[in-house]
């Protein structure tokens, strides 16, 4: 495959220099949406005309020239396998939510977009969180993009985003102000909860003293 790729690219580049569609890249644009306990990712994959044969061959496993439902599903899972999600250093396994494939003719012309929706469940954690996303799918021909949508949850605030030059590696630091922090943690006691508990304790003590005084 490696030997034939440059030849295919040169051939198609010289034949169709001005056509209005993607040519020799496999655009893989990911948008990440962070929620309280879940991260959703949409990956849009658009093979250029010149790399379409490579992408098609990797989906059409039985080489019958058609993309069956099983082959599409298997390909979507392989894409997910090439992605990596970690939260606060812990590896997460993405699950496939849906996969939509364009008509083969559209893909051949470099304008068909494969859409894969995935989700990862987030374990509970602290207020400050670090999500790392990596895309290693078809690196030889890939043009990666990754962006975070503005969180819909007003308790989630993006702090910083970092990427490597190719955008195959993306790091998102965010704050979840409404994080589920239990009474066992220091954070729970140092906030408004602690103040309310102190006031409640004082009232309870006062009531207990009054009750004792009346009985006496």
Partner 1 sequence: MNGLPRGTARRIWVVTLICWMSSAAVAETATARIVSAANAFLATLDQKQRQNVMFAFDDAQQRVRWSNLPTSFVHRAGLSMGQLTAAQRSAALALVSSALSPMGFEKVQQIMDGDEVLKANEGGNPMFGKDLFYISILGTPSEKQPWMLQFGGHHLALNVTIAGEHGVLTPSLTAAQPALYTLNGKTVRPLGRESDKAFALLNSLDETQRKQAVLNYHVPDLVLGPGQDGKTIQPEGLKASSMNDQQRAMLLDLISEWAGIIHESAAAARMAELKADINETWFAWSGPTTVTPGHNATAYYRIQGPHLVIEYAPQRLGGDLSNHIHTMYRDPTNDYGRKFTAQ
* Binding interface with partner 1 (CB under 8 A): 13, 17-25, 27, 29, 31, 106, 109, 111, 113, 143-145, 147-150, 158, 161, 163-167
Cβ proximity of 142 and 192 under 8 Å = no
CB of 133 to partner 1, least distance (A): 13
CB of 71 to partner 1, least distance (A): 24
Task: Considering the complex, state which of residue 166 and residue 193 has its C-beta at the smaller distance from partner 1.
Answer: 166
CB of 182 to partner 1, least distance (A): 30
CB of 166 to partner 1, least distance (A): 7
Cβ proximity of 149 and 126 under 8 Å = no
Task: Considering the complex, state which of residue 13 and residue 95 has its C-beta at the smaller distance from partner 1.
Answer: 13
Task: Considering the complex, state which of residue 6 and residue 124 has its C-beta at the smaller distance from partner 1.
Answer: 6
Angle at CA 168, nearest 5°, toward 167 and 169?
Answer: 90
Nearest to 84 by CA among 117, 131, 45, 47: 131
Q: Return the exposure string of 139-169: e unless at least 16 CB atoms fall within 10 Å of the residue's CB, then b.
A: eebbebbbebeebeeeebeeeeeebeeebbb
Task: Considering the complex, state which of residue 71 and residue 173 has its C-beta at the smaller distance from partner 1.
Answer: 173
CB of 163 to partner 1, least distance (A): 4
Nearest to 119 by CA among 155, 80, 82, 72: 80
Alpha carbon distances (Å) from 173 to 87, 125, 156, 176: 10, 13, 11, 10
Nearest to 140 by CA among 21, 24, 49: 24
Longest Cα separation, the chain: 103
CB of 85 to partner 1, least distance (A): 17
Task: Considering the complex, state which of residue 119 and residue 181 has its C-beta at the smaller distance from partner 1.
Answer: 119
Task: Considering the complex, state which of residue 80 and residue 146 has its C-beta at the smaller distance from partner 1.
Answer: 146
């Amino acid at each position: 495959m490696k030997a034939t790729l440059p030849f295919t690219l040169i051939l198609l580049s010289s034949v169709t220099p001005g056509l209005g569609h993607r040519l020799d890249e496999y655009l893989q644009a990911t948008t990440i949406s962070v929620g309280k306990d879940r991260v959703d990712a949409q990956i849009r994959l658009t093979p250029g005309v010149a790399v379409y044969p490579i992408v098609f061959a990797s989906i059409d496993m039985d080489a019958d020239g058609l993309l069956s439902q099983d082959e599409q599903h298997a390909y979507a899972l392989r894409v997910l396998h090439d992605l990596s999600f970690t939260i606060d250093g812990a590896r997460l396994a993405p699950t496939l939510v849906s996969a939509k494939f364009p008509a083969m003719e559209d893909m051949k012309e470099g304008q068909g977009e494969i859409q894969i929706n995935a989700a990862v469940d987030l374990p509970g954690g602290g207020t400050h969180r670090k999500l790392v996303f990596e895309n290693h799918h078809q690196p030889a021909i890939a043009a990666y993009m990754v962006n975070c949508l503005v969180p819909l949850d007003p308790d989630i605030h993006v702090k910083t985003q970092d990427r490597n030059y190719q955008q195959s590696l993306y790091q998102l630091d965010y704050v979840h102000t409404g994080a589920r922090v239990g009474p066992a943690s220091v954070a729970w006691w140092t906030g408004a909860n602690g103040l309310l508990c102190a006031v409640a304790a004082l009232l309870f003590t006062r009531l207990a003293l009054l009750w004792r005084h009346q009985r006496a």
